[in-house]
Amino acid sequence: MFSIGSEVGSDVAEAALKEVHAELKRLRTVRVEAEELNLVKNYMSGNLLKSLNGPFALGEMMRMLHEFHLPEDYYSQYILAIQSTTSEQVLQVAEKYLNEEQMTTVAVGGAFT
């Protein structure tokens, strides 16, 4: 599942949706710059490490390994996969999965015209 969420006023909701579609198209057609990609890689890696904070969180991560029959080195391999991702790979995945014409849009609140 992939989702994009935003909280905008009903007066700008349609413009916001158009902007989301423009960004999806940009991801499918323009290679991500190295600086931006590194920023996202560091954010994702840090987020995973932050989720290991404390014994209960660590226990939950271990439970997931067991429940989903994942290898013991799953999380370290996950970090390596994040850090080794290239701009070309991001472009290929975006081309494959980020087509707004194949997505369902749900808007709550004001009406769209």
The tens digit of pLDDT for each residue in 77-110 reads 999 999 999 999 999 999 999 998 899 988 887 6
pTM for the model: 0.75
Write the CB contacts of 57 (distance below 8 Å, at least 6 apart in sequence): 51
> What separation in angstroms does the CA of 69 have from each of 8, 14, 21?
41, 44, 37
Taking the C-alpha atoms of residue 70 and residue 75, their distance in angstroms, rounded to an integer, is 9
Q: If you average pLDDT over residues 12-33, what whole number do you get?
A: 93
